[in-house]
């Protein structure tokens, strides 16, 4: 068993002592599936834990090999004298342990790349020392997404949606898991331009949809989860409020064009059930886009897998991930496209 110790200088300014994050990142990089505390941090001075205490902790944890890395830029006195002296004392105290001392960060081409990235970031976010506005920051974010992932193999109409989901979640995995019915984007855009309403499972999804993009088309966002009848029926039947709420809206509203489910698998399962039943709304299912991306561990993946097998327009993602940010991002991407923007 080996442990790694990442050593920082330490500062009287407490918030400057933050190499714990670097330690966690290092641990995730070299031991991605490890739950042990095998990467530890220490400070030379002004902060805790001290190097000797961290070495002792490694020994107590059973480490036979202790790798010590000075998280310093250059080989000054601390790196060449102070830390080696501490390691020498530890070797005498723990003769049955192997100590390995690495070079500091030093001059390395990857550090040059980091400096270049910092310069580019500063140029992108600052202009004459004045921070950019939200739209400029969003534009820069989409530029970064375009640089870091290749979406050239996707149908052009899907790309703005995938980009906005990645933007909302900072999770590039959605590139692999998002699924689109062949008619999904077309039906969604037609619904928006025709002034159709957007039905959501919860208020958070309703709140996140950008109304100023929807208003010019005449549609509105509706959510019945807090309706008194819905609350009463949920108590009486034991069904979730979300599934009762969406069924109530489908029965009462003749102008629904998009359904956005971000949190409730039961609501998505209810929609699939209603669409496949002999009912008024089932005859209109080819004209309604279902955005089904509930998040969670119980029925979330199963409901999305079932949705992906349907023959009516849908957008979903085949993973446990999802939630309000994803549902909102998909709908807002469609709204942006409808009003003439790419993302």
Residues in CB range of 335: below 8 A, 6 or more apart:
192, 209, 210, 213, 214
Decide: pTM greater than 0.85.
no
What letters, b where the CB count within 10 A reaches 16 and e where it falls short, cover 62-97?
Answer: ebeebbbbbbbeeeeebbeeebeebbeebeeebeeb
Q: Say what the pLDDT of residue 122 is.
A: 64
Q: Say what the pLDDT of residue 37 is.
A: 87
Residue 218 lies in a domain: yes
Residue 157 lies in a domain: yes
Selection from 281, 293, 303, 299 nearest residue 325 by Cα: 293
Beta pairing class for 65-70 and 98-101: parallel
Show which of 71, 101, 131 is a domain's final residue.
101
Same domain, 94 and 142: no
Same domain, 86 and 129: no
CA–CA distance, 244 with 258 (Å, rounded to integer): 17
Determine the number of helices (DSSP H) and then strands (DSSP E) in the chain. 16, 12
Q: At what angle do helices 159-169 and 324-338 cross, to 10 degrees?
A: 140
| CATH number of the CATH domain containing 320 | 3.40.50.10230
Same domain, 40 and 173: no
Same domain, 331 and 304: yes
Show which of 39, 71, 101 is a domain's final residue.
101
Same domain, 299 and 204: yes
Q: What is the pLDDT along the chain (343 residues), one digit of tens a residue?
A: 899 999 999 998 888 888 988 888 888 888 877 888 899 999 999 999 999 999 999 999 999 999 999 999 888 999 999 999 999 999 999 999 999 999 998 877 778 777 776 776 666 554 444 455 556 667 777 777 778 888 888 999 999 999 999 989 989 899 999 999 999 999 999 999 999 999 999 999 999 999 999 999 999 999 999 999 999 999 999 999 999 999 999 988 889 999 999 999 999 999 999 999 877 777 788 899 999 999 988 889 999 999 999 999 999 999 999 999 999 999 999 999 998 865 5
Q: Which residue has the tokens 């490694």?
A: 58
* Total number of domains constituting the chain: 3
Q: Say what the pLDDT of residue 13 is.
A: 87
Same domain, 89 and 228: no
Its domain, for residue 43, covers 2-101
Beta pairing class for 178-180 and 314-317: antiparallel
Is residue 167 among the annotated active site residues?
A: yes
Selection from 103, 97, 65 nearest residue 84 by Cα: 103
Q: Say what the pLDDT of residue 124 is.
A: 55
Instruction: Considering the candidates 9, 27, 167, 181, report the single residue annotated as catalytic.
Output: 167
Same domain, 231 and 306: yes
């Amino acid at each position: 068993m080996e442990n790694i110790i990442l050593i920082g200088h330490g500062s009287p300014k407490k918030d400057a002592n933050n190499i714990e994050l670097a330690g966690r990142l290092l641990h995730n990089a070299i031991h991605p599936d490890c739950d042990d505390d095998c990467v530890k941090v220490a400070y030379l001075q002004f902060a805790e834990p001290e190097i000797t205490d961290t070495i002792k902790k490694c020994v107590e944890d059973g480490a036979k090999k202790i790798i010590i890395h000075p998280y310093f830029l250059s080989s000054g006195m601390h790196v060449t004298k102070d830390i080696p002296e501490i390691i020498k004392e530890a070797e005498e105290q723990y003769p049955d342990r192997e100590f390995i001392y690495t070079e500091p960060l030093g001059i390395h081409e990857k550090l040059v790349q980091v400096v270049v990235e910092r310069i580019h970031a500063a140029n992108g976010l600052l202009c004459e020392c004045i921070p950019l506005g939200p739209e400029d920051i969003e534009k820069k974010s989409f530029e970064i997404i375009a640089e870091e992932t290749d979406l050239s193999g996707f149908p052009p109409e899907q790309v703005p949606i995938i980009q906005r989901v990645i933007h909302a979640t900072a999770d590039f995995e959605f590139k692999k898991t998002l699924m689109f019915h062949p008619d999904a984007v077309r039906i969604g855009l037609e619904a928006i331009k025709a002034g159709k309403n957007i039905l959501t499972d919860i208020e958070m999804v309703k709140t996140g949809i950008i109304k100023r993009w929807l208003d010019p088309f005449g549609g509105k966002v509706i959510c019945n989860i807090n309706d008194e009848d819905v609350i009463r029926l949920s108590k009486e039947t034991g069904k979730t409020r979300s599934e009762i709420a969406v069924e109530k809206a489908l029965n009462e509203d003749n102008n629904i064009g998009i359904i956005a489910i971000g949190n409730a698998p039961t609501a998505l399962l209810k929609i699939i059930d209603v669409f496949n039943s002999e009912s008024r709304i089932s005859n209109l299912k080819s004209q309604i886009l279902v955005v089904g991306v509930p998040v969670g561990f119980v029925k979330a993946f199963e409901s999305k897998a079932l949705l992906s097998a349907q023959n009516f327009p849908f957008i979903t993602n085949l993973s446990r991930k999802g939630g309000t940010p994803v549902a909102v991002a998909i709908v807002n991407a469609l709204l942006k496209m409808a009003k003439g923007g790419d993302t």
